[in-house]
């Protein structure tokens, strides 16, 4: 797989729901006992970088909990760094990424599944945004807006 394609697959894998990653492993008939842990999954803290909307400069919001995993599936290594604190999520993501390196057909199948998963994730985010939008309150000519803590798309 070319570098840009692998980068996009990595990004989709990091954003996918854990249940989708587990389903991909099941569809590819990868048993949990065939996943070799090169390094035990470990919890880490990362600085969350965001881009400021006016000048475009980067600033650090604070620390984010994440889990890092390095596994091997069918002789191919996979690496994942997932936001959250569940080691199984990171192991599943690393295993899916390892499978993407196995052969072109498998990589294409997994990539197609991940594209479908991104559509589901996008729809869920839109639903969440719509639910938050319903919380707007008008008072004395002004607008007070409630917004999701994970919505960094607009200046506030």
**What's the start-to-end Cα distance of the chain, in Å?**
40
Pick the residue with more confidence: 139 or 78?
A: 78
Burial degree of 55 (CB within 10 A; 0-12, 13-18, 19+)? exposed
- Of these ranges, 40-44, 103-107, 135-139, the one predicted with the greatest mean pLDDT is 40-44
Confidence at 44, pLDDT banded by 50, 70, 90: very high
| 92 within domain boundaries | yes
For 52-101, the pLDDT digits (tens) are: 888 888 888 889 999 999 999 888 899 999 989 999 999 999 998 888 87
Give the residue from 18, 19, 38, 23 showing the smallest Cα distance to 98.
Answer: 38
Contact by Cβ (8 Å): 95, 35: yes
Side by side, which strands form the sheet with 76-83? 35-51, 58-73, 76-83
Q: Which domain holds residue 72?
A: 3-144
Tell me, yes or no, whether 154 lies in a domain: no
* Overall domain count for the chain: 1
| Domain assignment of residue 150, yes or no | no
* pTM listed for this prediction: 0.71
């Amino acid at each position: 797989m070319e570098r840009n394609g692998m980068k996009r697959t990595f990004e989709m894998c990091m954003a996918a729901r854990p249940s989708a990653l587990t389903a991909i492993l099941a569809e590819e008939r990868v048993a949990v006992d065939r996943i070799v842990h090169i390094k035990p999954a470990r919890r880490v803290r990362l600085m969350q970088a965001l881009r400021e909307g006016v000048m475009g400069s980067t600033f650090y919001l604070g620390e984010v909990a994440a889990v890092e995993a390095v596994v091997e599936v069918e002789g191919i290594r996979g690496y994942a760094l997932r936001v959250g604190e569940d080691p199984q999520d990171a192991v599943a993501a690393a295993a899916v990424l390892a499978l993407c390196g196995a052969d072109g057909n498998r990589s294409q199948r997994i990539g197609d599944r991940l594209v479908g998963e991104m559509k589901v994730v996008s729809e869920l985010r839109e639903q969440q945004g719509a639910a938050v939008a319903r919380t707007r309150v008008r008072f004395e000519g002004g607008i007070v807006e409630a917004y999701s803590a994970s919505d960094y798309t607009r200046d506030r």
